[in-house]
Amino acid sequence: MKSFDALGLSGQLVEAIRLLGFETPTPIQEQAIPILLQGKTDLVGLAQTGTGKTAAFGLPLIQLIDESNRTTQALILAPTRELSVQITTDLENFSKKVKDLNIVTVYGGASISEQIRKVKRGAQIIVATPGRLIDLIERRVVSLSTISYVVLDEADEMLNMGFKDAIDEILSSTPDEKNVWLFSATMPREVREISKNYMSNPQELTMGERNQGNENIDHQFMMVDDRDKYLALKRMVDYSTDIFGVIFCRTKIDTQRVADHLMKDGYNADALHGDLTQAQRDRVMKSFKNKTLQLLVATDVAARGIDVSNITHVIHMNLPDEIEYYTHRSGRTARAGKKGISLAIISKKEMGKISQIEKTLKRRFTKVLVPTGDEVCQKKIMALTQKMRNVEVNEEEIDSFLPEVYHELRDLSKEDIIKRFASIEFNRFLEYYRDAKDLNKSGSERSRVFSDDGGGAESYSTGDRIFINIGKMDGLEKGDLLGLICDYGEIDKAKIGKIDLKGAYSFFELEKDVTEKVMKGFEGIEVRGRKVRLEMTSNAPRERKEVGDFPRKRRSFDGDRGGNRSYGGGGGRGGSRDRDRDRDRGGSGGRERKRW
């Protein structure tokens, strides 16, 4: 294996990255850096995330940028704001002791005026998401006429996210003589087309086999009933005492729901998805990065490309339809040579997907069992014992307090004292796991939407289905309707299942025990001048019920809520204050009424 010195990088740059802990180049760095340093080649790099590709293109780029020329010389496009910010941070870290470079990040969902100001001050490198960049080009803030290098990072994902037209538009407004460096984990036809249309004789590098994934990831699955997935997740988290993980859900609503359940159940968790404001996302990412947050519950898109070191587990609450998504998800762990676990919590019907992934990745999954209640308790008590054994005792300062403690405990034997100390923390688990069922085998059918202990985060198809006479035509989106149901029904959003938004009407599912309350809560409500009417639909075996004919209190929905679309109270888009407030209240009940 070569060293960084042998790749053609300047001594200063090698020294700078050595200080960051980069001793030897990763395979993609070893291959790409000498090629890119020539500054005259187009390149297609087929590389998984976590392979060190940011430095593979970032280091040559830093070396090639002319520090004395203040025009924009390089453009890096990335699919998400998180990845853009991360690339910028990496480039700044690589370059700060070497060159005085202006690197500016632009992405949607944040103040454009601030970004305009930064670009206008001079940006030698712009790191951008495609949509916001187009906006800035149209406002004539960014000009690509002086660009020498364009990097497309995670090109497949940008195309998946519908940025094809934006990428075409951006690339066609750059000078012909630029170089394009494209990195992608997969090589679908659309990515090939970009390389055909905008690159000339690109050099191609493939890191490992396509889609093969990272060797250091231990792929596991556990099989449970759909409705037990949340319980299985909790057991895993309780069992894996030092877990620091990302939990993936398929939809934003599921993501928020699982995070809310975990928070309510006392776990150190939070959600990351596209319905949060940029400030909320930044706050969540920051606390995850500095490890004050232990469990990040995320959608595929929001967690795309995030690079946080030492993630021990990636947990899939369901398997994604696209195998590439599985690779991207699991690539959040086992980064930079570390080991990690990618655990899929699946139901029987997802078994087929496991075989597909095994075939594509050429990796075997290990079937693991959900720990029993006894096993969790055993693990917990041993962890507690080790913590007690390893605790650092401040002999000097504690000494003066001890005589009173000895006196207080004088009649207890050593065994009694140990038992009592252990019980302080242990009782909670013992209580919770007493008579806990074995989740590995199917339980009897239950006709409830969620289980009492927060289960069912994934299953919500057997509750009541309610018709409501408002929908898209009233300017509502799913989140709005969710907010209205939470607010008027005074229920936690975890009680709400699938929302099916139609034109003039919609349907939503409710846990049976709150149906009555929600029906009542909507009595007399008007939305945009329309009296709201709720009805039980026929799949629910109970009397047809209507409300809304007897307006009691009139409340109105003005439909124009400005930029902040928070519906508060555990809602996915609630402001951070709302979210914190909810956490204090344990996630449900006592919900503040919102003005609509």
Q: Which is nearer to ligand AMP, 21 or 562 (CB)?
A: 21
* Distance from the Cα of residue 186 to its chain's centroid: 21
Out of 50, 373, 548, 571, the only residue in the binding site for ligand AMP (CB under 6 A) is 50
Kindly state the smallest distance separating residue 397's Cβ from ligand AMP, in Å: 39
Distance between CA atoms of residues 54 and 238, nearest Å: 35
CA-nearest of 276, 233, 256 to 82 is 276
Kindly state the smallest distance separating residue 85's Cβ from ligand AMP, in Å: 13
By CB under 6 A, is residue 587 in contact with ligand AMP? no
Containing H/E element for 90? helix 81-95
Strand order in the sheet with 217-223: 269-272, 295-298, 245-248, 313-316, 340-346, 217-223, 366-367
Q: Which is nearer to ligand AMP, 128 or 317 (CB)?
A: 128
Let me know if 288 is exposed, middle or buried by CB neighbors in 10 A (0-12, 13-18, 19+): buried
Q: Which is nearer to ligand AMP, 45 or 568 (CB)?
A: 45
Distance between CA atoms of residues 463 and 97, nearest Å: 60
Out of 16, 35, 43, 53, the only residue in the binding site for ligand AMP (CB under 6 A) is 53
By CB under 6 A, is residue 25 in contact with ligand AMP? yes
Report the 3 state secondary structure along 1-56: CCCHHHHCCCHHHHHHHHHCCCCCCCHHHHHHHHHHHCCCCCEEEECCCCCCHHHH
Q: Are 335 and 314 in contact (CB under 8 A)?
A: no
By CB under 6 A, is residue 368 in contact with ligand AMP? no
Q: Which is nearer to ligand AMP, 53 or 81 (CB)?
A: 53
206 beta partners: 46
By CB under 6 A, is residue 22 in contact with ligand AMP? yes
The residue range among 24-32, 111-119, 503-511, 583-591 that interacts with ligand AMP, by the rule CB under 6 A, is: 24-32
Kindly state the smallest distance separating residue 197's Cβ from ligand AMP, in Å: 26
The residue range among 17-25, 100-108, 223-231, 421-429 that interacts with ligand AMP, by the rule CB under 6 A, is: 17-25
Report phi then psi at 527, rounded to 5.
Answer: -120, 120
Out of 49, 63, 148, 515, the only residue in the binding site for ligand AMP (CB under 6 A) is 49
By CB under 6 A, is residue 455 in contact with ligand AMP? no
Distance between CA atoms of residues 514 and 404, nearest Å: 52
Q: Which is nearer to ligand AMP, 62 or 231 (CB)?
A: 62
The residue range among 21-29, 108-116, 140-148, 160-168 that interacts with ligand AMP, by the rule CB under 6 A, is: 21-29
Distance between CA atoms of residues 279 and 275, nearest Å: 11
CA-nearest of 505, 496, 493, 494 to 467 is 505
Out of 172, 309, 386, 556, the only residue in the binding site for ligand AMP (CB under 6 A) is 309
Kindly state the smallest distance separating residue 27's Cβ from ligand AMP, in Å: 10
Distance between CA atoms of residues 469 and 75, nearest Å: 49
Containing H/E element for 583? helix 576-584
The residue range among 6-14, 44-52, 105-113, 125-133 that interacts with ligand AMP, by the rule CB under 6 A, is: 44-52
Query: What character string, x for contact with ligand AMP (CB under 6 A) and - otherwise, covers 316-355?
Result: -------------------xx-------------------
Sign of the Cα torsion 376, 382, 386, 388 reads positive
By CB under 6 A, is residue 79 in contact with ligand AMP? no
The residue range among 45-53, 289-297, 357-365, 406-414 that interacts with ligand AMP, by the rule CB under 6 A, is: 45-53
Q: Are 114 and 39 in contact (CB under 8 A)?
A: no
Q: Are 130 and 158 in contact (CB under 8 A)?
A: yes
Size of the site for ligand AMP (CB under 6 A): 16
By CB under 6 A, is residue 54 in contact with ligand AMP? yes
The residue range among 49-57, 107-115, 224-232, 451-459 that interacts with ligand AMP, by the rule CB under 6 A, is: 49-57
The residue range among 20-28, 69-77, 272-280, 505-513 that interacts with ligand AMP, by the rule CB under 6 A, is: 20-28
Kindly state the smallest distance separating residue 344's Cβ from ligand AMP, in Å: 23
By CB under 6 A, is residue 160 in contact with ligand AMP? no
Q: What angle do CA 236, 339, 204 make, to 5 degrees?
A: 125
Out of 307, 324, 492, 578, the only residue in the binding site for ligand AMP (CB under 6 A) is 307
Out of 7, 35, 37, 52, the only residue in the binding site for ligand AMP (CB under 6 A) is 52
Distance between CA atoms of residues 588 and 105, nearest Å: 38
Structure token pair of residue 395: 């002999």
Of the CA atoms within 13 Å of residue 371, those in its CB half-sphere come to 18
Structure token pair of residue 475: 């300017």
By CB under 6 A, is residue 124 in contact with ligand AMP? no
Q: Which is nearer to ligand AMP, 182 or 532 (CB)?
A: 182
Binding residues for ligand AMP, rule: CB under 6 A, are 21-22, 25-26, 29, 49-55, 307, 309, 335-336
